[in-house]
Amino acid sequence: MAARQPQTATEQSPEPTGQVDLGLLGNLLGYRLRRAQLAAFQDFIIAMKDYDLRPAQFSVLAIIAANPGLKQSRVSEALGINRANFVALLDELEQRKLARRAAAPGDRRSNALYLTPKGESFLKDAYQHLLQTHEKRIETALGNTDKRNLQDLLDRLAAL
């Protein structure tokens, strides 16, 4: 680096600090959304380290818990997870004995999904821990009123 000729103000920076000019990107709301979402997911993953649970895995467990017996295709559809990824995700949850597939009545091509008793209690524990760590950090960062405002704004965007 020492022998390098600085070309621009940015290149003079001795370390890759991430202080990069966003240019046009900074004007697009979608970019801000993506950065905030990545930060929230990173924080979720840290909070769930001892549970070894990623956001998508939590989502699947929560949807199955709230809709026991729902068909596999409808769970993946509700979460917008593509079929190949969903099968791999479910395989892992089955191997960990948290969820199980069963024949869907009247539809041999599809599976109905259920949590195991172990899965039920695992989800409950994980959720309580998330509330006390991840979700509390978000509330602290935003405050309760702004958190509710943000929820409303996000829901309006989700309906784009």
Number of Cβ atoms within 10 Å of the Cβ of 99: 26
87/140 with CB nearer a second copy: 140
**Would you count residue 30 as binding a second copy (CB under 8 A)?**
yes
**Would you count residue 32 as binding a second copy (CB under 8 A)?**
yes
Residue 112 Cα to chain centre, angstroms:
23
Judged by CB under 8 A, which stretch of 10-18, 83-91, 94-102 contacts a second copy? 10-18
Helix (H) or strand (E) holding 126: helix 117-132
**Would you count residue 67 as binding a second copy (CB under 8 A)?**
yes
Conformation bin of residue 80: beta by default, left when phi > 0, alpha when psi is -120 to 50: left
Site for a second copy in 77-116 (CB under 8 A): 77-78, 80, 105-107
**Would you count residue 125 as binding a second copy (CB under 8 A)?**
no
3-state secondary structure at position 70: coil
Distances (CA, A) of 53 to 16, 42, 122: 31, 12, 10
Judged by CB under 8 A, which stretch of 55-63, 82-90, 95-103 contacts a second copy? 55-63
**Would you count residue 123 as binding a second copy (CB under 8 A)?**
yes
**Would you count residue 121 as binding a second copy (CB under 8 A)?**
no
Beta bridge partners, 107, equal 104
Q: How far is the CB of 101 from a second copy (least distance, A)?
A: 15
Q: How far is the CB of 4 from a second copy (least distance, A)?
A: 3
Is 65:120 a contact under the CB 8 Å cutoff?
Answer: yes
Q: How far is the CB of 93 from a second copy (least distance, A)?
A: 15
Number of Cβ atoms within 10 Å of the Cβ of 104: 18
